[in-house]
Amino acid sequence: MGSDDNDTPLTVSLWRSFYLKLPKIYLPGTKFDICLTIISTLMIMAVKCVFDYIYFELLGWTDINRTRFCSACSTSAVHSTILCQLLWNCLKVPPHHPSTKMSSHPQAIQDDVVALLQLCTGYMIYDYLCMIMYNNWTLGPEDVVIFLHHLNTVIYMSSTRVLAAGHISTMTLMFWGEITNPIHNTFNVTRFAIQMAPLGSWWHSIHPFVEFSYSISYAFVRTVMGPYHAIKITYDFWFTEQGRQNIPMLIRVFWCILMWGILIGSIPWIQEAFEMMSDGLKIKYDKNFDHGSKYEEL
């Protein structure tokens, strides 16, 4: 199966074409291109500005912290929707082994891989900048977990580019980590929207269904698909000849620590998802829910 198949999504073709037309900007003293990473960061910031305008100006939401959060979540959903198409387009092309060398794929797929890894890195940089910008240019205590997640992800992605192998492992983890992101962030928007929109609005009507749908999808992906692929990747790294040859031992150790660390770190959110799922359409995050001092109305 080639990369020029008729079923290649338009977003994938456009993103690949955009990437190939860009100049190369390398990290000093390396051949590690970061041009698309920089541009992706700026583009995602522009998307955030669009959502700021929609929520603040068009919808007239006045609570600064809640509205900024909703805008950031909407931006994240756009990023993950595009990213998952790129990921799926790359992952459907054999070979599928987690430790596969990048050179085993057609050049177009190799370009797609680099383009999507730079896009995701750009998002991580954008999100970090937003976190510190809204916290007086410091990293708040509640943001440390998110920062560590982003840092681990960037290190994993970047090291597969440097090694030119193992990209299937990081893309698989990214796909299953991002696939629930659109519904997750829709839920994040609706749980704050019902605190700002008037009673009887459509936000109040859809929120119970969004919360329940999110809880089912998140619980399933994080307890079934995530661990399944983590086990599969770990096995490939350590118990196949290709894995041992393509991935140096210290990198295998490091990647496995990052991979399982992120999965284990999601346990509190998994527990919450099961609680919401067991409640059915009886919502956990209602209009009067206290989200803490960070989201007190300004």
The DSSP string of 228-288 is HHHHHHHHHHHHSHHHHHHS-HHHHHHHHHHHHHHHHHTHHHHHHHHHHHHHTTS-SS-TT
pLDDT attached to residue 1:
39
What are the tens digits of pLDDT across the range 120-144?
A: 999 999 999 999 998 888 887 778 8
**What are the Cα distances from residue 156, in Å, to 106, 124, 150, 250, 275?**
22, 13, 10, 13, 32
Total domains, the chain: 1
105-111: average pLDDT: 93
What are the tens digits of pLDDT across the range 52-96?
A: 999 999 999 989 999 999 999 999 999 999 999 999 999 999 999
Domain contains 296: no
pLDDT attached to residue 6:
57
Residue 159 has pLDDT above 80, yes or no: yes
pLDDT attached to residue 296:
61
Residue 98 has pLDDT above 80, yes or no: yes
User: Picking from 109-113, 178-182, 289-293, 294-298, which range would have the lowest pLDDT averaged per residue?
Assistant: 294-298
Domain contains 39: no
Domain contains 43: no
Q: Is the peptide bond before 95 cis (omega within 30 degrees of 0)?
A: yes
Domain contains 238: yes
Domain contains 30: no
Neighbours of 237 (CB within 10 A): 24
Residue % of the chain over a pLDDT of 90 = 81
**All residues at 6 or more sequence positions from 153 whose CB lies less than 8 Å from its CB, including other chains:** 120, 124, 174, 262
Query: What band does 9 get if pLDDT is binned at 50, 70 and 90?
Result: confident
Neighbours of 56 (CB within 10 A): 17
pLDDT attached to residue 142:
76
pLDDT attached to residue 2:
45
Query: What band does 7 get if pLDDT is binned at 50, 70 and 90?
Result: low
pLDDT attached to residue 4:
52
Greater confidence, 148 or 165? 165
Domain region containing 107:
57-289
160-182: average pLDDT: 96
pLDDT attached to residue 202:
93
260-277: average pLDDT: 93
Domain contains 23: no
Residue 298 has pLDDT above 70, yes or no: no
Domain contains 114: yes
Residue 278 has pLDDT above 80, yes or no: yes
Domain contains 3: no
Give the mean pLDDT of the chain: 92
pLDDT attached to residue 297:
55
Cα gap 62→297, rounded to integer Å? 9
What are the tens digits of pLDDT across the range 188-205?
A: 999 999 999 988 899 999
